[in-house]
Amino acid sequence: MSGEASSGAERHWRALEGLYASAPVNAKFDSSLEVLGEGSSRITFEVTESSFHAAGAAHGTIYFKMLDDAAFYAANTLVTDRFLLTTSFNLHFTKPVREGKVVAEGRWVSGRKRVFVAESRLVDAEGDEIGRGTGTFMKSRIPLSSLSGYSG
């Protein structure tokens, strides 16, 4: 990739990080997004008692949210003009988590035109995988440039 193209990609990735940080829903979580490169993202977050179900472990909604977001942002690294929408998401729970730092790793798998497939996994503080998912994402009609949190 040329230096100019590389700096354009870097601007897009930083703007995606800003978009994540600006989403009102993310104020509910101690989390941050890092775009690692084309087709790759990482969300680091803290699981606290506020996300527990009645049996004292993280509710599946936080698994879904972080898996979906990590896969979404990995896919959206390949699209510089439009916001993607999740059209389907399949997830597997492999281990309950109670508290602590968790990392959601997202990776683009296929698609470059209209439909994108990306996968993600959750890893707890001990390094164990606690969940995994695969999502399908589609280009929307929403220009990224129209979103106040995106400043690419």
Q: What residues have CB less than 8 Å from 16, skipping those under 6 apart?
A: 33, 35, 73, 76, 77, 150, 152
Per residue in 79-107, pLDDT (tens digit) is 999 999 999 999 999 999 989 999 999 99
HSE of 136 in the Cβ direction (CA atoms, 13 Å)? 5
pLDDT of residue 38: 97
Largest CA distance in the chain: 53
> Three-class SS of residue 49?
helix
pLDDT of residue 133: 98
- Residue appearing with tokens 């993202």: 41
Q: Which helix (H) or strand (E) holds 128?
A: none
Domains of the chain: 3-146 (3.10.129.10)
pLDDT of residue 20: 98
- Can you name the residues that pair with 101 across neighbouring β-strands? 46
pLDDT of residue 115: 97
Inter-CA distances, 78 with 30, 82, 110, 130, Å: 26, 10, 10, 27
Digit-by-digit pLDDT tens for the chain (152 residues) are 555 557 899 999 999 999 999 999 999 999 999 999 999 999 999 999 999 999 999 999 999 999 999 999 999 999 999 999 999 999 999 999 989 999 999 999 999 999 999 999 999 999 999 999 999 999 999 999 999 999 85
pLDDT of residue 151: 86
